[in-house]
Chains A and B, each alone.
Chain A
């Protein structure tokens, strides 16, 4: 099932990016979000890709650093937006809220999740959470040089198959793997490469509740968000997320969904 639009309305999109995220994209520029746990070399990847074409500041209204950088690959312009380092997207902190809101409402053309090759297990949690929101994910396993030193071997074809999204090995501080990352980003952003992210299946009770919510949620979010994911957040009782939805999508929150959820 395809819930996302092929040609999002560029005009509204540009406005949301500017007003809510302080991101001023030029026409035709592909927006790439860069997510990852803290201390996985996310900034190194960011610097390696963008060089000196950077702009730093704060997220609008937040005391959290925001960095954006541009690069050109195969004559296509890209704008890379560095998200705060987080362990999760389920919004306990301002940083997590920013990262989640950008991936959700900023509608990036692709999201890179940078993982630490030396502790993949811990890092994959975030990758799976991002994949629940958007199919346009590229996983970048960074710090491969560290992993090699610790004699950690990673089976990349198997990882890619398990996740269902492109996986790129990198050692950003040595400049390794960056060409592959650029190429993969190009393919995913332009739609040349479609991925089929692994979908998490929850317990029967949760799945049943999601199915009950889906029709209404679908009508409400109207292709702008992944309805399954929104339904799951409703079941979580995530109030902060409801506020974000109404802020970004200009929805009136006089809906019955919360009561419906409570009834389930």
Chain B
């Protein structure tokens, strides 16, 4: 049976913890937007807060705080760092 590789994403980061981007599994304009906001492979991102329902989530990237939908955040994979 095929078992998809379990990799953590931005959505899995706990508040206050950081991770580094490994890949951005989004397409088209949304991918472009994420890149324009400075979220590139290797960038360190910190989860700063989650809204009560867990969506959206606020992240600190390159000295700016941005909010992402958790659906989108779950497609941005991270590794510890």
Which residues on A are within 8 Å of B, measured CB to CB? 87-88, 90, 92, 118-119, 121-122, 125
Q: Are B38 and A121 in contact (CB under 8 A)?
A: yes
State the CA gap A125–B64 with chains docked (Å).
15
Contacts of A121 in B (CB 8 A): 38, 62
Q: Between A and B, how many residue pairs show CB distances below 8 Å?
A: 24
CB < 8 Å neighbour of A92 from B29, B38, B63, B64: B29
Q: State in angstroms the CA–CA spacing of A88 and B37 once bound together.
A: 9
Q: Is the interface of B mostly helix, strand, loop or mixed?
A: mixed
Q: How many interface residues does B have (CB within 8 Å)?
A: 9
Chain B: minimal CB distance from A105 (Å) = 21
Which A-B residue pairs are the 4 nearest by beta carbons?
A88-B36, A122-B38, A87-B36, A122-B62
How far does the alpha carbon of A125 sit from the alpha carbon of B62 in the complex, in Å? 13
**Inter-chain contacts of A122 with B (CB < 8 A):** 37-38, 62-64
Kindly state the separation between the CA atoms of A92 and B36 in the bound complex, as whole angstroms: 11
State how many angstroms separate the Cβ of A13 from the closest Cβ of chain B. 30
Q: Is there contact, CB below 8 Å, between A87 and B37?
A: yes
| Bound-complex Cα distance A87 to B36 (A) | 6
A121-B38, A125-B38 given as contacts; is B33 within 8 A of A92 (CB)?
yes
CB distance from B8 to the nearest CB of A (A): 25
Interfacial chain B residues near A92, Cβ < 8 Å: 29, 32-33
Do most interface residues of chain A lie in helix, strand or loop, or is the interface mixed? helix
Closest B residue to A91 by CB, please name it: B29
Chain A residues lying within 8 Å of B32, measured Cβ to Cβ, are 88, 90, 92
Q: How far is the CB of A116 from the nearest CB of chain B, in Å?
A: 10
Name the distance in Å between B29's Cβ and chain A's nearest Cβ: 5
Nearest B residue (CB) for A129 = B36
Contact A125 B36 (CB under 8 A): yes
Offer 24 A-B interface pairs, CB within 8 angstroms, sorted by A: A87-B36, A87-B37, A88-B32, A88-B33, A88-B36, A90-B29, A90-B32, A90-B36, A92-B29, A92-B32, A92-B33, A118-B63, A119-B62, A119-B63, A119-B64, A121-B38, A121-B62, A122-B37, A122-B38, A122-B62, A122-B63, A122-B64, A125-B36, A125-B38
Cα A125 to Cα B39 with chains together (Å): 12
Q: What is the CB-to-nearest-CB distance from A246 to chain B, in angstroms, rounded to a whole number?
A: 20
Q: Which chain B residues border A119 with CB–CB below 8 Å?
A: 62-64
What chain A residues lie within 8 Å of B36 (beta carbons)? 87-88, 90, 125
Q: How far is the CB of B26 from chain A (nearest CB, A)?
A: 13
- Give the nearest-CB partner of B37 in chain A: A87
Kindly provide the distance from the CB of B3 to the nearest chain A CB, expressed in whole angstroms: 32
For A118, list chain B residues within 8 Å (CB): 63
Cα distance A125–B38 when bound, in Å? Answer: 8
- Contact partners of B63 in chain A: CB under 8 A: 118-119, 122
CA distance A206 to B36 in the complex (A): 19
A118-B63, A122-B63 known; 11 other A-B pairs, CB under 8 Å? A88-B32, A90-B29, A90-B32, A92-B32, A119-B62, A119-B63, A119-B64, A122-B37, A122-B38, A122-B64, A125-B38
